Each structure stands twice: as structure tokens, then as C-alpha cells.
């Protein structure tokens, strides 16, 4: 039975950078060819959303509905959209569409596509009652998770997983920052037999306690040296000063991987910190293959997500709490009272 779909919906809308989002009544979007209309169940709040609101990342147009960790139910399908059935629950990540014809797309690097579109940045996202998405870029989701539990996996989990894959065979891995991505990724790393060393802001006892609870081999502040040199370090906090600090902590031939889409300026550092064939690299978005591999990896065990839920109209408070470091784990906008 086709669900009755209203003409209007509530959405939190960015009208100008550095201004609070506005709760507005806007038209329910129309799905195009190959697209599905989703009734949003939950949408994770990401630090990228914060960078957009704070004017550190500039979307191509405003007003804009942010949100790119979307869990929703298919309620309507566009022409030639046949991948999902009405009632299916799917996840919508940051990567919304690629051209399929540029050199990056043709060499399995669609995350670097020159003409890519991004959910909640190029296109309206999921901080609303409904959203549309290209069905080829949606992910079927395991039924063992509630919408609130799995929403943070659609960015924090996916980006963290790509960063972990970039670390290759590293066994001793440092995490700088212990928020949404890191608290998910530590569970995968531990399952793969890795030793995880967690670096947090000085005095952040809540994050440190969560890291210990989830199996960190060592926990300290971001300015401390770990008891052993690391094979790799993953930087989740958007703080450029952490790059030379992480380089100090890795062995020769090790890697420092910056997993954020935005970072403050990296200060100058002496050449000896990177000498010894150390590698400094970044993660740029994700590919659909990353998503397939990620959900395959977590299919046989349940990732625990530490979640703080907010209502749609409380999104500005969620962003403020994230900005001030008050969120332990992930923040999620919960649109469904069933979760």
C-alpha cells in the first residue's frame, strides 16, 4: 500500500553561514529519475555539518538542508528506480552522485570525482521529515540495528573504515580525537586484532573512559607520547597542530592519516619528523565500494554506538554541544518515536 505523502514538511534550513538553522515548513521534495523519496527516521550530526554552519566549508547554494547520515524508509520511487521496494530501509551517505566518466570514476576512485555531488552540501540532506536520494548511492542496512544506532555509521563509520584501510597492515594504531568515528572504529580495529592508542583533549575524562571501556590499549592526552611508537596514527580532530605531534609518535615507515574534510592550519615542523619514509595523507570522502565492504565487515557482529538523541527542532543545540566538545560518541536527530 502506498503511503500518503504530505505536500509540506518540517526541515531545519541553513539560510546563511554563521547563523542558527531555522525550523521551516517547506515543500516535500519530488524524486527524479533513478531517485527514491525517503521518510527520514534518523540523521546523524557530523562535524562536517558544523564546518558548514560555521562558514569553514562553503556549499554551492543556500538555503540548504544539511545532514548526510540518513536512515530512511522508501515511500515513493522515481522513473526507472527499481533497486529498492517501497518500505525498504536504506542509508544515505555523504557521496550523493558521481559523473561516472572522469578519470577518477573510471579508475575506482569515484570519491575524487571532479563533478561529484554531496548530500547535505550540494543537495538537500536529511535534517527534515523527507528527503530524496539517488538509489545507486544508497546502502541497504542490516536489520539488527535501530535507525538511531546505525545513523552514525553512515559517515563516522564509513570514513573511519576508509582511514583504517589506508593504514594497511599497521598493528599499533593511534586515534587522535575520540568522537563519532573513533568510538565506532575502535570496535572494528579490536576485532581485527589491532592495538589502539587513544589521544584526547587533556582532561576529557568522559571520552577517555569510553575509550578504555571499548578496549583501548592506552589512553592519554594529545600532547603525550605513547608507551610504544605507533605504526600509524589516524587524526579525527580538525586540529592541524596534531599533525606534527602524531608524526613524533609513529615509527619509520609509518603513516599519519587525516580523516576530516576540514582542518585548521598545520604548523611548520622540522624535516626530521617526516624523514624515515613516513607518510602523511588524507581521506577524501568515500566510495560505494567502501560502504559495501564496511557493511560486510560488520555483518557478523554488532557495533555499539554511543548516541545522544535530539529532536529535529533541537538541531542547533546538538551542533552547539558538538562544537563545545560535549558530545560523547555521536549525536543523532531522531525523527521516529519508535527508536
CATH code (residue 182): 3.40.50.720
pLDDT in tens, 224-276: 999 999 999 999 999 999 999 999 999 999 999 999 888 999 999 999 999 99
Domain that holds residue 212: 157-282
Instruction: Answer whether residue 202 shows pLDDT above 90.
Output: no
pTM here is 0.89
Residue predicted with more confidence, 133 or 179: 133
Q: What is the mean pLDDT of residues 178-204?
A: 92
The position carrying cell 576512485 is 109
Final residue belonging to a domain, choices 282, 298, 319: 282
- Do 199 and 218 share a domain, yes or no? yes
Instruction: Answer whether residue 1 shows pLDDT above 50.
Output: no
Contact 35, 84 (CB under 8 A): no
Q: What proportion of the chain, given as a percentage, has pLDDT over 90? A: 86
- Do 18 and 131 share a domain, yes or no? yes
Residue predicted with more confidence, 293 or 70: 70
Each as own residue / partner, the long-range contacts of residues 27-31 (CB below 8 Å, 24 or more positions apart, any chain) are: 28/129, 28/130, 29/124, 29/130, 29/131, 29/132, 30/132, 31/76, 31/77, 31/78, 31/81, 31/132
- Do 143 and 242 share a domain, yes or no? no
Report pLDDT for 338: 42
The position carrying cell 582542518 is 263
The CATH number of whichever domain residue 102 belongs to comes to 3.90.180.10
Report pLDDT for 337: 53
- Do 33 and 134 share a domain, yes or no? yes
Q: Tell whether 194 is covered by a domain.
A: yes
Report pLDDT for 25: 98
End-to-end CA gap in the chain: 23
Mutual angle of helices 180-191 and 205-213, in 10-degree steps: 20
Q: Tell whether 1 is covered by a domain.
A: no
The position carrying cell 557482529 is 301
- Cα(263)–Cα(181) distance, integer angstroms: 16
- Cα(54)–Cα(239) distance, integer angstroms: 15
The position carrying cell 573510471 is 106
Mean pLDDT of the chain: 94
Instruction: Answer whether residue 181 shows pLDDT above 80.
Output: yes
Q: Tell whether 291 is covered by a domain.
A: no
Q: Tell whether 3 is covered by a domain.
A: no
- For 54-71, b/e burial (b = at least 16 CB within 10 A) is eebeebeeeebbbbbbbb
Report pLDDT for 3: 64
- Do 147 and 166 share a domain, yes or no? no
- Do 58 and 16 share a domain, yes or no? yes
Say how many domains are in the chain. Answer: 2
Contact 152, 332 (CB under 8 A): yes
DSSP-assigned letter for residue 8? E
Q: Tell whether 57 is covered by a domain.
A: yes
Q: Tell whether 169 is covered by a domain.
A: yes
Q: Tell whether 289 is covered by a domain.
A: no
- Do 58 and 165 share a domain, yes or no? no
- Do 202 and 88 share a domain, yes or no? no
Q: Tell whether 339 is covered by a domain.
A: no
Residue predicted with more confidence, 9 or 327: 9
Query: How are beta strands 64-65 and 8-14 bridged, if at all?
Result: antiparallel
Q: Which of 33-47, 243-257, 290-304 has the lowest mean pLDDT?
A: 290-304
Report pLDDT for 296: 86
Report pLDDT for 89: 96
- Do 71 and 183 share a domain, yes or no? no
- Do 148 and 35 share a domain, yes or no? yes
- Do 22 and 142 share a domain, yes or no? yes
Report pLDDT for 179: 86
- Do 175 and 85 share a domain, yes or no? no
Amino acid at each position: 500500500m502506498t503511503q500518503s505523502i504530505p505536500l509540506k514538511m518540517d526541515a531545519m534550513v541553513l539560510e546563511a553561514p554563521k547563523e542558527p538553522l531555522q525550523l521551516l515548513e517547506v515543500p516535500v521534495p519530488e524524486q527524479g529519475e533513478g531517485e527514491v523519496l525517503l521518510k527520514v527516521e534518523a540523521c546523524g550530526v557530523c562535524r562536517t555539518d558544523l564546518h558548514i554552519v560555521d562558514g569553514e566549508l562553503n556549499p554551492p547554494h543556500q538555503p540548504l538542508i544539511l545532514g548526510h547520515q540518513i536512515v530512511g524508509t522508501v515511500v515513493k520511487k522515481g522513473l526507472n528506480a527499481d533497486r529498492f521496494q517501497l518500505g525498504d530501509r536504506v542509508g544515505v551517505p555523504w557521496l550523493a552522485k558521481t559523473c561516472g566518466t572522469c578519470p577518477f570514476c573510471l579508475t575506482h576512485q569515484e570519491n575524487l570525482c571532479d563533478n561529484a555531488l554531496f548530500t547535505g552540501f550540494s543537495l538537500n540532506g536529511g535534517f527534515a521529515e523527507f528527503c530524496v536520494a539517488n538509489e545507486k548511492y544508497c546502502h541497504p542496512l542490516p536489520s539488527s540495528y535501530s535507525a538511531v544506532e546505525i545513523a552514525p555509521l553512515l559517515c563516522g563509520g564509513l570514513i573511519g573504515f576508509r582511514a583504517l584501510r589506508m593504514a594497511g597492515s599497521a598493528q599499533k594504531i593511534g586515534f587522535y580525537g575520540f568522537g563519532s568515528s573513533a568510538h565506532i572504529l575502535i570496535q572494528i580495529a579490536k576485532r581485527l586484532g589491532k592495538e589502539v592508542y587513544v589521544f584526547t583533549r587533556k582532561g576529557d575524562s568522559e571520552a577517555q573512559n569510553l575509550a578504555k571501556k571499548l578496549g583501548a590499549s592506552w589512553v592519554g592526552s594529545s600532547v603525550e607520547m605513547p608507551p610504544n611508537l605507533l605504526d600509524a596514527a589516524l587524526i579525527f580532530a580538525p586540529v592541524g597542530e596534531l599533525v606534527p605531534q602524531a608524526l613524533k609518535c609513529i615509527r619509520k615507515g609509518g603513516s599519519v592519516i587525516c580523516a576530516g574534510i576540514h582542518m585548521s592550519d598545520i604548523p611548520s615542523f622540522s624535516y626530521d619528523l617526516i624523514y624515515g619514509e613516513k607518510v602523511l595523507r588524507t581521506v577524501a570522502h568515500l566510495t560505494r565500494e567502501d560502504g559495501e565492504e564496511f557493511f560486510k565487515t560488520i555483518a557478523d557482529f554488532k557495533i555499539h554506538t554511543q548516541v545522544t538523541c535530539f529532536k529535529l527542532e533541537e538541531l542547533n543545540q546538538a551542533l552547539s554541544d558538538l562544537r563545545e566538545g560535549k558530545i560523547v560518541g555521536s549525536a543523532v536527530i531522531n525523527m521516529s518515536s519508535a527508536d
